[in-house]
A = this chain, B = another copy of it.
């Protein structure tokens, strides 16, 4: 971040996008919340869409780092899978609003068009790593299992961000891991 103002803007935008949705949040609101002028915002970000893309890419990088770390800090595939799962769900728990935003955005192609290629590429890379983990786990069809696993994680995230209070995240986590870590 080049500047405090830039960080303020990104944070305010993140919060407001998450709370109200992208389209329902105006530049004026963001500038007000960030305590800067609308003009300044355009010094840092080319457009409203560029601001959004900046936020999204930041988030995705957090997820990448998490996966990276889970793999690096553990040697057995079991431990890696557990670390990644726990890390992901704990991110969710720490900032549900943010992940709600991301989930919501995942379905609004009108907004994502500009960064879809980058996102797809990053997702492909991550998927490859997860497949490798399942391979080492020795499951039957590692690709299919990785896909199933990531569907489950997505589903849990989806349900959790919809209803963060009272969702049994921990029990779900154990339920996800059980088939792989049992025994």
A residues with a Cβ closer than 8 A to B are: 19-21, 23-24, 100, 103-104, 106-111, 144-145, 147-148, 150-156, 158-159, 161-162, 168, 171-172, 175-176, 179
- The binding surface of chain A is classed by DSSP as helix
**Does B171 lie within 8 Å of A106, measured CB to CB?**
no
A92: shortest Cβ distance to chain B, in Å?
13
Give the complex CA separation of A109 and B19 in angstroms. 8
Taking a contact as CB atoms closer than 8 A, the residue among B19, B20, B110 that contacts A21 in the complex is: B110
Instruction: Please name all residues of chain B whose beta carbon is closer than 8 Å to the beta carbon of A108 when the two chains form the complex.
Output: 21, 104
Instruction: Please name all residues of chain B whose beta carbon is closer than 8 Å to the beta carbon of A161 when the two chains form the complex.
Output: 107
Chain B CB count within 10 A is highest, among A111, A151, A154, A172, for A151
Using CB atoms, name the residue of chain B closest to A109. Answer: B21
**Does A151 lie within 8 Å of B144, measured CB to CB?**
no
Instruction: Please name all residues of chain B whose beta carbon is closer than 8 Å to the beta carbon of A103 when the two chains form the complex.
Output: 107
Instruction: Please name all residues of chain B whose beta carbon is closer than 8 Å to the beta carbon of A20 when the two chains form the complex.
Output: 109-110
A164: shortest Cβ distance to chain B, in Å?
13
Taking a contact as CB atoms closer than 8 A, the residue among B159, B168, B171, B179 that contacts A154 in the complex is: B159
Instruction: Please name all residues of chain B whose beta carbon is closer than 8 Å to the beta carbon of A151 when the two chains form the complex.
Output: 152, 155-156, 158-159, 172
Taking a contact as CB atoms closer than 8 A, the residue among B147, B172, B175 that contacts A172 in the complex is: B147
**Does B111 lie within 8 Å of A107, measured CB to CB?**
no
**Does B162 lie within 8 Å of A158, measured CB to CB?**
no
Instruction: Please name all residues of chain B whose beta carbon is closer than 8 Å to the beta carbon of A156 when the two chains form the complex.
Output: 151, 155
Using CB atoms, name the residue of chain B closest to A22. Answer: B23
10 contacts between A and B (CB under 8 A): A23-B23, A103-B107, A104-B108, A144-B175, A148-B152, A151-B155, A154-B154, A154-B155, A154-B159, A155-B158
